[in-house]
């Protein structure tokens, strides 16, 4: 199948982002929005997470009924990065090796098989000894290596191959992503991958449905123009947000849910624009059509789609805000994360907080999901990805 035919077929099968994305008033507002401002050169650094054990709050999606249901993951006692796709989970240990377990969805475990097997305990992914962090987009995994190159494997070979489709089968073993160099972090989603370089520039490749790759008709790896001083990066599925070196936030892609910070909602932009109302931002995170930002004072801000309590504002009904709002009820926060319709915050004492819906952690049951609640853990949290948490068990 030719690439153009495949793209049209894919687009036809995807649910439209809604009428808010098609209004001419929204289009005009996006076109008039201020561009992402120039500022001090970005010099992003890899996230430094102390080694810890990994606690799982529940089984993987589609795991066998008798599968292990959660607790401390066997053998994962010195983990510095973890990424939970829902079906399977990958982790980087302090020695640079990568391990996976869970359901093998189109090669997502990275062990050379397409069979939909269930791996109950972590197994090492062969051939990787210099990993720094692991990230997922859908059931495709990306490993950033110590030299800034990227390895990938999993369900979408167009993402593994830097935007070039090589058949339709998943990639079952790690493979270098062509031309992806100088990378310090990533923010992929199920159809598109984004990489933050050490010079503050952003690379992107995959399916450019809502101009998330900029103004290009290609799926191939490209540099996103209009942003050159990023220090943090996250995808919300239909839009991308970055934190800049001077503490601002910029975004591009779809504004159907207000993620570009523009009112009225609607339209889309391949040109990065500034999200107004935020300053001194040190980290960003992205859920499903919702974005989060953490400022220097430890305050968490949210904007975009508020379904199921994702904005943490006490409302579970479908609603939107293009103006970032403070997530109430949180102590001072040092790290944020998100997965689909759930937001997470780790406070300065290692307490883990969550709000929204979509992921249940252990015995923690939310009454409404509309506001942040503390999640009981066996130790202080160091980092979190969906239902998996790196914890410090040595205190």
Mean confidence (pLDDT) of the chain: 91
Determine contact, residues 185/197, Cβ cutoff 8 Å: no
pLDDT by residue (tens digit) across 175-217? 999 999 999 999 999 999 999 999 999 999 999 999 999 999 9
Mean pLDDT of 343-356: 96
Question: Under CATH, what is the fold of the domain 3-391?
Answer: Methylamine Dehydrogenase; Chain H (2.130.10)
Whether residue 246 has pLDDT greater than 60: yes
pLDDT by residue (tens digit) across 301-342? 999 999 999 999 989 999 999 999 999 999 999 999 999 999
The structure's pTM equals 0.93
* Residue-level pLDDT at 366: 53
Whether residue 69 has pLDDT greater than 80: no
DSSP state, residue 377? -
pLDDT by residue (tens digit) across 122-164? 999 999 999 999 999 999 999 999 999 999 999 999 999 999 9
pLDDT above 90 covers a percentage of the chain that reads: 82
Q: Is omega for the bond preceding 264 within 30 degrees of 0, making it cis?
A: yes
Helix (H) or strand (E) holding 321: strand 320-326
pLDDT by residue (tens digit) across 100-116? 999 999 999 999 999 99
* Residue-level pLDDT at 358: 63
pLDDT band at 15 (very low <50, low <70, confident <90, very high): very low
* Residue-level pLDDT at 68: 78
* Residue-level pLDDT at 272: 97
Hunting for tokens 């508020």 — which residue is that?
Answer: 306
* Gap between the Cα atoms of 256 and 251, Å rounded: 13
pLDDT band at 364 (very low <50, low <70, confident <90, very high): low
Taking residue 117's Cβ as centre, other Cβ atoms within 10 Å add up to 12
Closest-CA residue to 187 (of 326, 47, 52, 63): 47
Residues 6+ apart with CB under 8 A from 65: none
């Amino acid at each position: 199948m030719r690439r153009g035919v495949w793209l049209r077929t894919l687009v036809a099968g995807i649910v439209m982002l809604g009428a808010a994305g098609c209004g001419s008033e929204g289009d005009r507002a996006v076109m008039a929005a201020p561009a992402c401002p120039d500022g001090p050169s970005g010099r992003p650094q890899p996230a430094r997470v102390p080694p810890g054990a990994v606690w799982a709050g529940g089984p993987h999606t589609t795991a066998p009924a008798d599968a292990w249901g959660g607790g401390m993951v066997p053998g994962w006692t010195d983990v510095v990065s973890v990424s939970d796709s829902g079906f399977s989970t990958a982790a980087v240990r302090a020695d640079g090796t990568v391990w996976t377990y869970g359901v093998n969805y189109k090669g997502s475990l990275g062990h050379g098989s397409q069979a939909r097997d269930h791996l109950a305990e972590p197994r090492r992914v062969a051939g990787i000894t210099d990993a720094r962090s692991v990230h997922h987009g859908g059931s495709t995994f990306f490993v950033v290596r110590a030299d800034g190159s990227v390895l990938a494997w999993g369900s979408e070979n167009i993402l593994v191959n830097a935007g070039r489709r090589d058949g339709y089968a998943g990639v079952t073993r790690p493979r270098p992503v062509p031309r992806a160099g100088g990378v310090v972090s990533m923010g992929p989603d199920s159809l598109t991958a984004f990489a933050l370089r050490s010079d503050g520039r952003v690379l992107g490749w995959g399916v450019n449905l809502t101009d998330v790759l900029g103004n290009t008709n290609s799926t191939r790896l490209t540099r996103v123009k209009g942003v050159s001083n990023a220090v943090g990066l996250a995808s919300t599925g239909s839009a991308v947000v970055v934190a800049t070196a001077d503490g601002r936030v910029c975004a591009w892609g779809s504004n159907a849910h207000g993620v570009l910070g523009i009112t009225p909602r609607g339209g889309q932009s391949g040109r990065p624009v500034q999200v107004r109302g935020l300053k001194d931002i040190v980290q960003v995170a992205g859920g499903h059509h919702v974005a989060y930002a953490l400022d220097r004072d430890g305050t968490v801000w949210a904007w975009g789609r508020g379904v199921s309590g994702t904005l943490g504002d006490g409302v579970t009904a479908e609603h939107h805000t293009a103006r970032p709002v403070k997530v109430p009820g949180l102590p001072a926060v040092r790290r944020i994360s998100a997965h689909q319709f759930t937001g997470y915050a780790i406070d300065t004492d290692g307490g883990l907080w969550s709000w929204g819906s979509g992921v249940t952690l252990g015995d923690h049951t939310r009454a409404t999901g509309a506001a942040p609640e503390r999640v009981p853990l066996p130790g202080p949290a160091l980092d979190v990805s969906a239902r998996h948490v790196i914890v410090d068990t040595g205190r």
